[in-house]
Chains A and B, each alone.
Chain A
C-alpha cells in the first residue's frame, strides 16, 4: 500500500454533549484546550505543527449548538450550524439574504457542508508568515514579517494596523455586521452578548486574538434581530479565483428606505483591516439621500479615509472605495 504521509500530532480528544460540559472542560484545561468546530482552520494548524494543543474539545456532539431557531425578535443560529444550512434556510434567504449570500461565498461545497457559522467568524487570520509559524508579533515574537521592506503583502491590510498587518478572512463577518447580529459568548461566569462589530478586535486591543473570546469562552449562538429583516442588501466579494478563494476585499450592506430615500444604512467591509470594518462615515453620508451617483462617490471616498497601503496592496484602497460606491449605487 501507499506510503503513510502525515499524521496530526497526538492530542486528547474530548467530545462533550452539552454547552455546560464543554465550558467545564475549558475551565479545567484552560490554555491547553483547543476548541474544535468544523475543523477547517484547526486541522491546518495541527498538520503544519504550528499549533500543538494537548487537548482538543470537539463541539460537534453538542445538539443545542446546532440548528436555526425562530425567536421572538428574529432568528437564533447555533454556532455549530453549518454554512450550507445557513445558505439553504428559507427565512434567511428571504429576509436576511445578505447572510445567505455571504455564506454561499465561503470556500467550496465540501467546506460549507462541514464549516460552521461560529467557526467562520472565529477563524484565525491567513497571513502566510503567521500561518507558516514565523515568530511574528501575533505569534508572540517581536517583528512583523509582512510589513518588512521585502515582504509579500498584497493580501494584507490598509487600515487598523498596529504592529500586525493581517486581515480578517471571514466572509460572513461583514454580513453579520450589516444585519446588526448579536454574538452570544458563554463562559462558566455566564453569557455575554456582543454586537457583531464589537466581537471582532484588532491588534491594538490584543494582538494574539481575532475576537473578544479568551480561553474558556465559547461562542454558542448568533442572534439575527428582526430590525433589518427585508432591508435592501448588497454583497460583493472580490477574489483572485472565481471558483473559491479568500476575499481580497468584500462588502456587505443593508439599507432601509422610505419611498426612495434611505432612512438607515449599515455598511461593512472585510479584507482591509485585521477586523471587519464598519464604515460609519459612509453610512452617515448615505442616510437621507436616494443613493445617487454623487452620494455613492462621496460614501466611497469617506470609507477609505485614513487608509494607508503597504508596498504591494495599494489596489485595495481603490477596491474598497469602489465596492462601497457600488453598494450605495445598488439602492438607487
Chain B
C-alpha cells in the first residue's frame, strides 16, 4: 500500500511527457508495443478513450518496472511480451493448465486470467525471481527439481515450481496427498505427475533441513 502511494506521488511529480522523454533517453523501460500489435486485427486499442492510466509501475521480482499496459492486457502478456520474462508460459490461456502460474503478493494465481491493471501496487514474482538476486543461487524448490529431474518436456515446469513455492509457504510439511491437492491447478501433458510429486516432497525436505 505504502509503495503504491509512493508511486502515485512520483507520477504526480513527473509529468507523463517528461517521464517518457526520460525513458527514451535512458532506455529504461521495455517498450515493445510496436511489435505486440503489429498485424493484430482485433486490436482497436485506440477505439476507447480510457480513464485508466496506461503507464504503470509494476513491482516484478523485487524491481519496479515502468511499462505501458493496455486496459485489456493480461499479466502473462505483459510479463512475456513487454518485460521479456518468458519463463511464465502460456499454455491454454484459459485458467486451466497452470503454465502461467505466478505469485501475486506471495499467492499463486494464473497470470493469463488477470489484468495487469489489477496488480498495480502488488508484488509479482515469476520463475525468474526465485533465485537469489545477488548470488544466483537457485531456490529450494528449483534445487529439488534439479535433484529429482522431475520433468520430461518441462513446458509446465515453471508453473509447477511456482505452485510448489506457494505450497511450501502455506504448508512446509505436506503429505504426498496434500502436495497433489496443492498442485492440482497445474497440468503436465507428459503425465509425469509421480516424479513431479517426488520433486515437491524433496523440496519440502530441503526446506526443512535449511
Contact = CB atoms under 8 A, between A and B. Distances in A.
A58 to B, nearest CB: 6
A8 to B, nearest CB: 4
A243 B107 CA distance: 20
B107 A113 contact: yes
A110 B74 contact: no
Given A5-B93, A44-B94, A11 B71 contact: yes
A239 to B, nearest CB: 12
Contacts of A111: 95, 110, 185
A12 B77 contact: no
Contact of A11 (B72, B80, B84): B72
Interface stretch (B38-46, B55-63, B125-133): B38-46
B182 interface: yes
Interface in A9-54: 9-15, 39-40, 43-44, 46-47, 49, 54
B142 interface: no
A240 interface: no
B185 A10 contact: no
B117 A13 contact: yes
A60 interface: yes
Contact of B95 (A14, A40, A84): A40
Interface in B42-86: 42-45, 47-52, 70-74, 77, 80-81, 84, 86
Q: Of residues A10, A49, A111, which shows the largest number of chain B Cβ atoms within 10 Å of its Cβ?
A: A10
Interface residues of A, number: 35
Given A9-B72, A10-B72, A43-B74, A4 B185 contact: no
Nearest to B184: A243
Given A2-B86, A108-B98, A111-B110, A7 B48 contact: no
Contact of A10 (B71, B93, B180, B181): B71
B18 interface: no
Contacts of A14: 51-52
Interface residues of B, number: 47
A109 interface: yes
A6 interface: yes
A113 B108 contact: yes
B77 A9 contact: no
Interface string A104-116: 0001111101100
A39 B115 contact: yes
Given A7-B40, A58-B115, A12 B48 contact: yes
A315 interface: no
Given A40-B95, A111-B110, A7 B43 contact: yes
Interface string A257-294: 00000000000000000000000000000000000000
Nearest to A84: B107
23 contacts: A2-B80, A4-B36, A4-B81, A5-B90, A6-B93, A9-B72, A11-B48, A11-B71, A11-B72, A12-B48, A12-B50, A12-B52, A14-B51, A39-B114, A39-B115, A39-B118, A43-B95, A108-B184, A109-B166, A110-B163, A113-B108, A114-B113, A244-B184
Interface of B: 35-36, 40, 42-45, 47-52, 70-74, 77, 80-81, 84, 86, 90, 93-95, 98, 101, 107-110, 112-115, 117-118, 163, 166, 180-182, 184-186
